[in-house]
Chains A and B, each alone.
Chain A
Amino acid sequence: MPKLGADMTVGTVVAWTRQPGEFVRRGDIVAQVDTDKGVIDIEVFATGVLEQILVLPGQTVPVGTPLATIRETGAPEERVPGAWAGPPPAEAGVAPQAPQAPPPPLPPPASAFGAGAVARAGHQPAASMAQPEPPGGMPVSAQGPPAAPARLRISPSARELARALGVDPAAVQGTGRGGAITREDIQRAAAQRAGALGRPRAEEAAAAGQPSAGAPATQQPAPGPSQAGPAQVAPPQLPPPQVAPPQAGPPQAGAPPTAAESPLAAAPMARGVQLPAEERAARMRQSIAAAMSRSKREIPHYYLGTTIDLHRAVTWLAAENERRTVTQRLLYGALLIKATALALRDFPELNGFYMDGRYKPNEAIHVGVAVSLRLGGLIAPALHHTDRLDLSTLMERLRGLVQRVRGGSLRGSELADPTITVTSLGEQGVELVLPVIYPPQVAIVGFGKVVERAWAVEGQVVVRPTITATLAADHRVSDGHRGALFLAAIDRLLQQPESL
């Protein structure tokens, strides 16, 4: 039964116009077949004797079923070698051979709208049927399969936060629309619990969790002014090896507060989520080892350093902080980060990623701020669009970041997005930092401690606060000349603190 259209699956023989034993030529009509579209003549593509009719009038068969056999005679030039599949060379079926195997099936449709051709999980039937997994691969329900009585009304983000903070959402009263539990409810619950336990620094959580009336801004994980003093959160500090959190796990698994340090850690954690502290520390150490080994193996670092006079910056900062409330005060670390971010605008070769053998500058500037963990290890999450943040916002974000590093509520994007890293080890008392680039970034800026030095100004020796800024950069992407100009640009910006 020949296939005559893409939508033809079966045909019914209506009549044979030629009989067995008759000689038929290529192109002759031998039968009529009834299809969904009507009766169609069937021609043969071989010349010879119609030997045997296999499908009688009235019979319906699928396409591909042999209808008759032809014993070919002569006309060799009309034969198509290999045209028929089954029968031996002397016998050719009127019906065609089975259609050739089509190309392998298509992949699931890729994104139609997105800029890249990124497949969207939601378009894959398998994925859409399965329970969605959060980024990081944690099971949605830590409680096991849902034999759930009444389903909890809780926002996806709040559910994640509850898990991270160890809050049991079932015990939380929701204040969102329709009684839904929101992030804020979880934060409040965590803070109340911490307060009840009377642990130190409970006020931090409380500040995050208790919004003042009419201040929706406190929806941010840690947006509100923290009661924590500057010394507790900044300047960010950490040892030179810059590293990401363990790749396998979500941020909270990699940045755990210790029981002794965090009021939250004392609370029962969602089951099945937290690893033992030693295990977490070991994993973090492994991933630091992997990243730094790769960095030292693959990246030809070059190092530059310069000492910067901070007199203007410190003076301006003191005056500025006079005008601010305690919680709004700026730290000089914020100036260093902002100056670095602004300087980067003119140095795209230091702000981006080296991947797959080529460098891709990143238009947006997301400075990663290295934060050391008390348990050991470190994380360098991003301050998004650092160059566009005013100092107050930058400071606020910085505080929030440090808090969240300790609270374990970093977002995936904060960890993946840094386009460059800044590390400061001044608090530890060192003057010079020679940092290691965190791949696939291509540069890292280090700041040592603020040291009062004898400094020559217009022929006079004066005492000035100074800081040594260093740059480690990837020689595959930039050269020392540009690196030097970059450090000089940071210096220049720090001489005009009011314009930061």
Chain B
Amino acid sequence: MSAPEATHRPGQALLSGLPREALLERLREMLRIRRFEERCAELYTQGKIHGFLHLCIGEEAVAVGAMRALRPEDNVVSTYREHGHALARGISAAAVMAEMFGKANGCSRGRGGSMHLFDAQHRFFGGHAIVGGGLPIAVGLALAARMRQEARVTCCFFGDGAVAEGVFHESLNLAALWRLPVLFLCENNLYAMGTHITRHQSQIDIARKAAAYGLPGQAVDGMAVLEVEEAARAAVAAVRAGEGPRLLEARTYRFRAHSMYDPELYRSREEVAQWKQRDPIDLLAGALRQADLLDDAALAQLEGEVAAEIDLAVAAAEAGPWEPVQDLLKDVHSPRFA
């Protein structure tokens, strides 16, 4: 499967409907994620960030588009490639960076790291590093919302790799059976780590799998932020209206390796280069320039703001405290009856 052709432009509705400030904000958010992750890569090679580091560079439009469709009271369940989701959800760059460093001021207090970002305030129920592991939890969050008669939608991110897990099918079935308010959002970047989707799926059109469970499924160009947003808004509205769950497949691509330690033996440089022609940041910036909504100065200003925020985030992470080792056993259990 190659990159979807950008022949139709459903995102045009938003492009014409949103004020310039709102459009620049979406561009800024994608830049923020991109630059943040580039800095992460650098810090990783310096030994500041440890463990696994999975970058979502190339996939920023999915995170930004989807989050714009959600409200603060909604729930988000995410994967191990979730820096973009966390940042777009509103978790501060400093809290995420400090978590990468393993510091006590990280959003998971240094207990989670890159793959396990959590934030109660933003109802961000985790980066989960067991592929597919978050799906049943999202179903349960939606069940709670339904039983408590809360108008929350639960948005659950997962990759194309997760579609091969049993819990994907179980979760879609249960959510559809109980008509629970979940948006299943598949970030299809074509690779389950290094295995191309044609090598792990008999049916590579993921959106169509929804039909097996009787829920609507839709695919969208995951490189076009406004298209993602538009599709997500429609899906979320239906879910919130009580029409049951939806499956949205965003077709995207990661430009960088699966993790830092990956020689990318499984794909060609040409393929990567071809996808980079459809860089989501360039696509939006180009469209904005065409519409005379963006010039070099404005872009430079956005870059400057983003760089400044990331500098501050790194400084906060550097300066953050290590949790004292005597607190090692903290938070294994709740303080009883607290």
| Whether chain A touches chain B in the assembled complex (some CB pair under 8 Å) | yes
B261 on interface, CB distance cutoff 8 Å: yes
B45 lies within 8 A of A4 (CB):
yes
Q: How far is the CA of A25 from the CA of B62 in the complex (A)?
A: 28
Smallest distance from the beta carbon of A269 to chain B beta carbons, Å?
43
Which of B47-55, B71-79, B240-248 is the interface stretch? B47-55
Q: Which residue of B lies closest to A97 (CB)?
A: B46
Q: Which residues of B contact A37 (CB under 8 A)?
A: 261-263
Q: How far is the CA of A97 from the CA of B45 in the complex (A)?
A: 9
Q: Which residues of B contact A117 (CB under 8 A)?
A: 329
B38 lies within 8 A of A4 (CB):
no
Q: Which residue of A lies closest to B46 (CB)?
A: A96
Which B26-53 residues sit within 8 Å CB-CB of chain A?
Answer: 38-39, 41-42, 44-48, 50-52
Which A77-124 residues sit within 8 Å CB-CB of chain B?
Answer: 77, 80, 83, 96-100, 103-107, 110, 117
B322 on interface, CB distance cutoff 8 Å: yes
Residue in A6, A7, A35 whose Cβ sees the most chain B Cβ within 10 Å: A6
Given contacts A2-B45, A4-B45, A77-B304, contact A35 B261 (CB under 8 A): yes
Smallest distance from the beta carbon of B47 to chain A beta carbons, Å?
3
B328 on interface, CB distance cutoff 8 Å: yes
Which of A38-46, A163-171, A244-252, A420-428 is the interface stretch? A38-46
Q: Which residues of A contact B257 (CB under 8 A)?
A: 40
B261 lies within 8 A of A4 (CB):
yes
B120 on interface, CB distance cutoff 8 Å: no
Choose from B42, B51, B322, B328 the contact partner of A107 (Cβ within 8 Å). B328
Which A126-175 residues sit within 8 Å CB-CB of chain B?
Answer: none
B325 on interface, CB distance cutoff 8 Å: yes
Q: Which residues of A contact B265 (CB under 8 A)?
A: 38
Choose from B38, B44, B322 the contact partner of A3 (Cβ within 8 Å). B44
A5 on interface, CB distance cutoff 8 Å: yes
A27 on interface, CB distance cutoff 8 Å: yes
Choose from A6, A39, A99, A110 the contact partner of B263 (Cβ within 8 Å). A39
A80 lies within 8 A of B42 (CB):
yes
B263 lies within 8 A of A38 (CB):
yes
B262 lies within 8 A of A83 (CB):
no
B260 lies within 8 A of A4 (CB):
yes
Q: How far is the CA of A106 from the CA of B328 in the complex (A)?
A: 8
Which B252-281 residues sit within 8 Å CB-CB of chain A?
Answer: 257, 259-263, 265
Given contacts A99-B48, A106-B325, A110-B329, contact A80 B314 (CB under 8 A): yes
Q: How far is the CA of A27 from the CA of B307 in the complex (A)?
A: 16
Choose from A27, A35, A77, A96 the contact partner of B47 (Cβ within 8 Å). A96
Q: How far is the CA of A85 from the CA of B47 in the complex (A)?
A: 12
Q: How far is the CA of A38 from the CA of B50 in the complex (A)?
A: 20
A8 on interface, CB distance cutoff 8 Å: yes
The contact string, 1 if C-beta is below 8 Å from chain A, for chain B 304-316, is: 1001000100100
Smallest distance from the beta carbon of B93 to chain A beta carbons, Å?
15
Q: How far is the CA of A283 from the CA of B241 in the complex (A)?
A: 80
A5 lies within 8 A of B328 (CB):
no
Q: How many A-B residue pairs have CB under 8 A?
A: 68
Smallest distance from the beta carbon of B330 to chain A beta carbons, Å?
10
B38 lies within 8 A of A27 (CB):
yes
Given contacts A2-B45, A27-B38, contact A40 B325 (CB under 8 A): no
Smallest distance from the beta carbon of B293 to chain A beta carbons, Å?
24
Q: How far is the CA of A27 from the CA of B256 in the complex (A)?
A: 12
Q: How far is the CA of A105 from the CA of B322 in the complex (A)?
A: 12
A5 lies within 8 A of B261 (CB):
yes
Q: Which residue of B lies closest to A38 (CB)?
A: B263
How many positions in chain A have a CB within 8 Å of any CB in the partner chain?
Answer: 31
Q: How far is the CA of A37 from the CA of B266 in the complex (A)?
A: 12
Smallest distance from the beta carbon of B260 to chain A beta carbons, Å?
5
Q: Which residues of B contact A35 (CB under 8 A)?
A: 261, 263
Given contacts A37-B262, A37-B263, contact A103 B42 (CB under 8 A): no
A40 lies within 8 A of B261 (CB):
yes
Smallest distance from the beta carbon of B196 to chain A beta carbons, Å?
17
Q: How far is the CA of A97 from the CA of B47 in the complex (A)?
A: 8
Q: Which residues of A contact B304 (CB under 8 A)?
A: 77
B259 lies within 8 A of A5 (CB):
yes
A100 lies within 8 A of B325 (CB):
no
B261 lies within 8 A of A8 (CB):
yes
Given contacts A2-B45, A27-B38, A98-B47, contact A104 B263 (CB under 8 A): no
The contact string, 1 if C-beta is below 8 Å from chain B, for chain A 1-34, is: 0111111100000000000000000010000000
The contact string, 1 if C-beta is below 8 Å from chain B, for chain A 200-232, is: 000000000000000000000000000000000
A100 lies within 8 A of B261 (CB):
no
B263 lies within 8 A of A40 (CB):
yes
Which B217-248 residues sit within 8 Å CB-CB of chain A?
Answer: none
Choose from A2, A6, A104 the contact partner of B325 (Cβ within 8 Å). A104
B46 lies within 8 A of A99 (CB):
yes
A3 lies within 8 A of B48 (CB):
no
Q: Which residues of A contact B328 (CB under 8 A)?
A: 106-107, 110
Smallest distance from the beta carbon of B266 to chain A beta carbons, Å?
10
Residue in B304, B307, B323, B325 whose Cβ sees the most chain A Cβ within 10 Å: B325
Q: How far is the CA of A98 from the CA of B259 in the complex (A)?
A: 21
Q: Which residues of B contact A39 (CB under 8 A)?
A: 263
Q: How far is the CA of A232 from the CA of B197 in the complex (A)?
A: 89
Q: Which residues of A contact B307 (CB under 8 A)?
A: 77
Smallest distance from the beta carbon of B243 to chain A beta carbons, Å?
45
Q: How far is the CA of A5 from the CA of B322 in the complex (A)?
A: 22
A3 lies within 8 A of B47 (CB):
yes
Q: Which residues of B contact A5 (CB under 8 A)?
A: 52, 259-261
Q: How far is the CA of A3 from the CA of B51 in the complex (A)?
A: 11
Smallest distance from the beta carbon of A226 to chain B beta carbons, Å?
46
Q: Which residue of A lies closest to B323 (CB)?
A: A103
Q: How far is the CA of A305 from the CA of B261 in the complex (A)?
A: 79
Q: How far is the CA of A7 from the CA of B262 in the complex (A)?
A: 12
Q: How far is the CA of A7 from the CA of B304 in the complex (A)?
A: 36
Q: Which residues of A contact B325 (CB under 8 A)?
A: 103-107
Q: Which residues of A contact B259 (CB under 8 A)?
A: 5
Q: Which residue of A lies closest to B51 (CB)?
A: A6
B42 lies within 8 A of A45 (CB):
yes
Q: Which residue of B lies closest to A43 (CB)?
A: B41
Q: Which residues of B contact A106 (CB under 8 A)?
A: 325, 328
B260 lies within 8 A of A100 (CB):
no
The contact string, 1 if C-beta is below 8 Å from chain A, for chain B 133-149, is: 00000000000000000
Binding site for B on A (CB under 8 A): 2-8, 27, 35, 37-40, 43, 45, 64, 77, 80, 83, 96-100, 103-107, 110, 117
> With A5-B261, A6-B51, A97-B46 given, can you name 20 additional A-B contacts, CB distance below 8 Å?
A2-B46, A3-B44, A3-B45, A4-B261, A5-B259, A35-B263, A37-B261, A37-B262, A38-B263, A39-B263, A40-B263, A43-B41, A64-B47, A77-B307, A80-B314, A83-B42, A103-B322, A105-B325, A106-B328, A107-B326
In the A-B complex, the 8 residue pairs with the smallest Cβ-Cβ separation, listed nearest first, are: A99-B47, A5-B261, A38-B263, A2-B45, A96-B46, A45-B42, A4-B261, A103-B322
Binding site for A on B (CB under 8 A): 38-39, 41-42, 44-48, 50-52, 102, 257, 259-263, 265, 304, 307, 311, 314, 322-323, 325-326, 328-329
* 12 residue pairs from A and B, CB less than 8 Å apart: A2-B45, A3-B44, A5-B261, A6-B51, A8-B261, A27-B38, A40-B257, A80-B39, A80-B42, A80-B314, A97-B47, A99-B48
